[in-house]
Amino acid sequence: MLSSKNKRLITYLKFLILGQQGLSWLKYGKILRNGGKKTIVYKLQLCALYLLNSYPGQGIICLLLYHILFILMMWSYFKATFTSPGSPTATRKISNPVDSSSSSTYIPLDQRRSDSGEITSNNSQEQQDDSQQQRRKKDLVVLNENGEPISLGFIMVKKTGERRFCQKCGIDKPDRTHHCRVCKKCNSKMDHHCPWLNNCIGHRNQKYFYLFLVWATLYSFFISLTTIIPVIKYAQSTNEPIVEIDLNWTFLILLGGVFSLCLIGFTLFHTNLILSNQTTLESLQKRYYKIKEDGDVTKSKYLNLFDVGKRNNWIQVMGPKWYFWFIPIGKPYGDGISWPLNSYGYSTLCESVENLNDPTQIV
């Protein structure tokens, strides 16, 4: 057995030879190797046992379900690994922070887009101008071409109120964009960098990563459950202790059980992130918002302007068609730069800024 000191030395030598990216791909190879070992052991030990002992129906069902789960898991894994999370281009110029005093930027909620794409209202143009001047800021939101509230890509700022500028990429970072020092680029809606995938999880591959967690959890649970039942029956019929049974059975039960217990917590965590429209980074950090160029900065860890309801949050990541939700295909909603905003949260933010700037509101 290698001592912990020797193991650290071997890891250090691997790092010198392969580099950080090489080590990540080495982990990638280990995952494939473990998956292949599970497949061989499961087929030869369990399914073959069913087929050779007058239980062909159970053997066929186990083989069929196993391959469905395995294919979906590995398909999701490859998609998450080889799909870029998305990155704002170096030529992308982000507009100034949203100015709530600009009537050309903010559009009343009672206006809708016509079939031709123009914004229409039941009132005359003169009445619209008068009503817009008197309308409170909390009744105004930004709409995209579909009449949906959006962010212009620059409502999140630094603690100082300055633009979130990336010195390494040389670009203004859109909302929810972060720089990854491993990938050496800015990634849209960056969640985290996953060393097991050797890739960042972000806007374009979040669905694939989530599906990998879901199918890996079900895959591990399925292996553990379908293996432990015949092992218990065998031990009861032969009075042989379970610990003395073939180690391959123990390997399947323990590995499947440990992985399923670990992954189910991770899966539930990311399910909650999707339903609340957050990333791992956003759930851990305070956010700073500014809606005017010369306005004040609003700091909050709990105000999430991107939460537009559980259903809409889910559709943003998983897609509008329910029958594609658990298949690793399709593209996410949006361009990864502009995001739908929670109208209530945005109105609250506008109202708080208005009160700060109004001396009569200060108690």
Instruction: Report, as residue numbers or ranges, the catalytic residues.
Output: 194
The HSE-up count of residue 219 (CA atoms within 13 Å, CB side) is 24
Two tokens, residue 108: 């009343």
> Within 10 A of 121 (CB to CB), how many other CB atoms are there?
14
Q: Do 228 and 360 contact (CB within 8 A), yes or no?
A: no
Give, in degrees to the nearest 5, the angle at Cα 273 between 268 and 278.
170
Gap between the Cα atoms of 104 and 111, Å rounded: 13
Gap between the Cα atoms of 46 and 230, Å rounded: 8
What DSSP letter does each residue of 171-189 carry, written as one string? EEPPTT-EEETTTTEEETT
Gap between the Cα atoms of 358 and 279, Å rounded: 35
CA nearest to 231, candidates 249, 212, 211: 249
List 165's β-bridge partners, or say none: 172
Gap between the Cα atoms of 303 and 286, Å rounded: 9
Q: Do 176 and 60 contact (CB within 8 A), yes or no?
A: no
Which residues in 221-258 are b (16+ Cβ under 10 Å) and which e?
A: bbbbebbbebbeeeeeeeeeeeeeeeebbeebbebbbe
Two tokens, residue 116: 């031709």
CA nearest to 210, candidates 308, 103, 124, 327: 327
Distant-in-sequence, close-in-space partners of 143: CB < 8 Å, separation ≥ 6: 107, 111, 113, 119, 149, 150
